[in-house]
Amino acid sequence: MSNLPPVLRPADPPRRALAELADRFARDVRGDIADVHLSGITLATADLRAGEAFVAIQGVNRHGAEFAGTAAEKGAVAIITDAAGAELAASAGLPIVVVDDPRGVLGALSAWVYGTGADDPLPLLFGTTGTNGKTSVSHLLEGILDQLGVVTGLSSTAERHIAGQVIVSRLTTPEASEMHALLALMRERAVEAVAVEVSAQALSRHRVDGIVFDVAGFTNLSHDHLDDYADMEEYFRAKLPLFQPDRARRGVVCLDSPAGARVVAEAGIPVVTVGTPAIAADAGAAAAADWVVTIDDERQNGTVFTLAGPQGRLTTTVPVIGPHMAANAGLAIVMLLEGGYSWERIAGGLERDGGIRAYLPGRTEFVSGERGPAVYVDFGHSPDAFEKTLAAVRRVTPGKVLMLFGADGDRDATKRYDMARTAVEGSDILVVTDHHPRFEDPASIRRTLVEGARRARPDAEIHEYSPPEEAIVAAVGLVGEGDAILWAGPGHQDYRDIRGVRTPYSARELARRALRDAGWPVPEPRWPVPYDD
């Protein structure tokens, strides 16, 4: 059973003539398109609404046009597909618009259908890419904008927000048809500014085609996603298009990883830079950035930092631990400046509120109470993320640090040894468990992680538990007052992917249960609880 969240559409959908669409985009037309109008487009028959066009693309295993009959039954008014798809869809009895590359043209199609192209009236758009920190920057942008009294929208790995409405996300970046429908809905609800998380896959797979961001941000680049890209160079190049004029008007680039300087050198838009010397690979380069983040204090409930640059100097607090989170906050503030919000307005709002007010779901999220071990649930799933977050937890923990983690099945397996090495080197106790096994054998994944950890530290205290419901109970039993647990991987997610089935699951709630059963006080949750207490 699927627990996928809904695809959002504007309440007052457009009415577009199929003949005009064909004039703009078609190579060929089959069937009668006169007097046919559409109110939207979609890639998935499961989400199709009556009056919409179904865009059928070639998938990994099957062509979407095989489902043209289902689309017709659900009220589709037309099929948009390639020549091969047109042959498959002919029996559905719907008019067919033939295009050369349905996925490649989907962004332009969606922008035309929903009126969300570069020349259309839209909210201010902020797009953030990078390996780690994209979600955090997006939520920090929205949080600060809220403090300024701006009506906001958000599209991140964790959630979609539309003027206060919260919807759980499907993909880091939605498909182009969903993204443009979302922007149309946001405009309809008088959203003034939108923060969008932009993955490398979104750029490679045309999910943000047809969108021009007012400001693009770059966080960092580190080992990840080599299941999708041949090597790190290809992965880096997949992110570069966001910093070209057809994708963004201005850019803000963090210089904390070496890739930042390369983005600046190859950007085709005006760019300003931000750096955090305390964590940068090249402290000198970070210190020479236009804007510099200095870490002033690290606490269990936040990080105090100073941002200094051409327009002023500001000391404030981000409500998450770690210098990398201060770096994310600095990037977000400079992106807002580049978007046209004044320094005085931003600094005044943060000073008035005593810091940044933002909720970052599953990002080093503190889920424990005032007594007992500190428990953080985090979405980090790369060696670089592990290293930075473990170091941050270590600095605010007087006792032992326990690391609990697993690895994704059917994803980049080349990083598993490095994940295990980083985890065991940064912790006092390591607990290996399952994450999303997907169609892989979870025992095999755990075996690789344990082997990698033992290679790095043969004398380390390493435990292996399955399933994770058992692992967190064991982890809580291994620590006490003054100690900390970092559970990395699940973060905000409310499911585990087991052989293609999304099984309801919440690491945050499981951690609360384990603490409570061990006799420790737990706070009220800030997230939906999928279990009966």
CATH code for the part of the protein at 124-353: 3.40.1190.10
User: Do residues 247 and 263 make contact, with C-beta atoms less than 8 angstroms apart?
Assistant: no
Q: Does domain 365-517 have CATH number 3.90.190.20?
A: yes
Please give the backbone phi and psi of residue 354, each rounded to the nearest 5 degrees, phi first: 75, 25
pLDDT at position 462, please? 98
Q: Is the pLDDT of residue 306 over 90?
A: yes
Average pLDDT over residues 318-327: 94
pLDDT tens-digit profile of 107-127?
A: 999 999 999 998 899 999 999
Give me the residue spans of the domains in the chain: 16-114, 124-353, 365-517
Band (255; pLDDT cuts 50, 70, 90): very high
Please give the backbone phi and psi of residue 389, each rounded to the nearest 5 degrees, phi first: -75, -40
User: Do residues 215 and 251 make contact, with C-beta atoms less than 8 angstroms apart?
Assistant: yes
Question: What region does 518 belong to: left with phi over 0, alpha with psi -120 to 50, or beta?
Answer: alpha
pLDDT tens-digit profile of 71-111?
A: 999 999 999 999 999 999 999 999 999 999 999 999 999 99
pLDDT at position 528, please? 54
pLDDT tens-digit profile of 325-349?
A: 999 999 999 999 999 999 999 999 9
Band (525; pLDDT cuts 50, 70, 90): confident
Q: What's the DSSP call for residue 403? A: E
pLDDT at position 223, please? 72
Band (385; pLDDT cuts 50, 70, 90): confident
Q: Is the pLDDT of residue 25 over 50?
A: yes
Q: Is the pLDDT of residue 190 over 80?
A: yes
Band (172; pLDDT cuts 50, 70, 90): low
Average pLDDT over residues 454-466: 97
Considering only 150-159, 168-177, 215-224, 335-344, which range has the smallest mean pLDDT?
A: 168-177
Percentage, residues of the chain above pLDDT 70: 96
User: Do residues 298 and 321 make contact, with C-beta atoms less than 8 angstroms apart?
Assistant: yes
* Beta strand 271-275 pairing with 78-81: unpaired
User: Do residues 82 and 100 make contact, with C-beta atoms less than 8 angstroms apart?
Assistant: yes
Band (170; pLDDT cuts 50, 70, 90): low
CATH code for the part of the protein at 16-114: 3.40.1390.10
Convert 337-380 into a string of H (helix), E (strand) and C (coil). Answer: HHCCCCHHHHHHHHHHHCCCCCCCCCCCEECCCCCCCEEEEECC
Average pLDDT over residues 450-454: 97
Give this prediction's pTM. 0.85
Considering only 28-32, 222-226, 240-244, 258-262, which range has the smallest mean pLDDT?
A: 222-226
Average pLDDT taken over every residue of the chain: 93
pLDDT at position 492, please? 78
Identical fold between 16-114 and 124-353 = no
Determine the Cα–Cα distance for residues 449 and 454; give it in Å rounded to an integer. Answer: 9
Band (168; pLDDT cuts 50, 70, 90): confident
pLDDT at position 530, please? 46
First to last CA, the chain: 23
pLDDT at position 340, please? 98
**Hey, what's the torsion of the CAs at 48, 51, 57, 63, to 10 degrees?**
70
Average pLDDT over residues 515-530: 81
* Beta strand 291-299 pairing with 302-309: antiparallel
Burial of 505 (0-12, 13-18, 19+ CB in 10 A): buried
Paired strand residues for 484: 374, 401
Please give the backbone phi and psi of residue 468, each rounded to the nearest 5 degrees, phi first: -65, -25
Average pLDDT over residues 297-312: 95
